[in-house]
Amino acid sequence: MAGPTLPRVSQDSRRQRVADALREAIIKGELRPGDRLVELDLSAQLGTSRGPIREALRQLEQEGLVVSYAYRGTLVADISQEEIEQVLVPIRIVIERFAFQIAMPLLDESDFSALRSLVAEMREAAEAGDADRMADADLRFHELVIERSGQTHCMQLWRTIQPRVRAYFRRDASGHTDRHTVAEQHSALIDALAAGDPVRLGTAVDEHIHIHLDEASAKADANE
């Protein structure tokens, strides 16, 4: 199978290591939507047996990153702008509006320090033009607040959509009119969390998610 050079993996936790390697290749665009993933070829590239490959592909299918067809095999899944607008963004708004409101009075200074550190990391990534690092810091910011809410079901739902969210964060990173605005948007979220005003926070969460959506939509329109 023609494609990127994937890292060989050790025998320990082979399925997870294979899944991690393939996930990164998909999210970074090294494996593109529609690319066919052949167990035999992946086994040779990754230096492991076909069993862990098969298990990893099942995991990635559950994450929505690949799709299997009866006669076509396993392909890298696409993430359409329609899916982002009609599925992922509405789910994010429901999860984050609720979890952020619950987390707001529970956050302590160490939490705010961690959030500010992630914003600083976003700024550094923007300076370096590192889209991967920026997307990772962005996700960790949201996940930290959701986790602090203590809402188990919110965390479970977030982790279900997180691979798809990360893929569209990474895909759209180059579409930001100014990469530095990502850090500023998250600083505004910190201010809203610190203010302790539920109405202000709800508005800030909505605006934050929709700003990202508007920029992604503009990029999609420009590419048509």
Residue 63's CATH number = 1.10.10.10
Specify the number of domains making up the chain. 2
Which of 38, 56, 76 terminates a domain? The answer is: 76
Which of 49, 76, 103 terminates a domain? The answer is: 76
Give the domain range for residue 18. Answer: 11-76
81, 217 Cβ separation under 8 angstroms: yes
Kindly state whether residues 17 and 118 are assigned to the same domain: no
Q: Which CATH number is 89's domain given? A: 1.20.120.530
Mean pLDDT taken over the chain: 87
Query: d(Cα 200, Cα 189) in Å, to the nearest integer?
Result: 10
Kindly list the distances between the CA atom of residue 4 and the CA atoms of 19, 29, 39, in Å, as whole numbers in the listed order: 15, 10, 15
By C-alpha distance, which of 1, 186, 164 is closest to 86?
164
Kindly state whether residues 130 and 187 are assigned to the same domain: yes
Most confident of 21-35, 100-114, 157-171: 100-114
pLDDT in tens, 149-167: 999 999 999 999 998 888 8
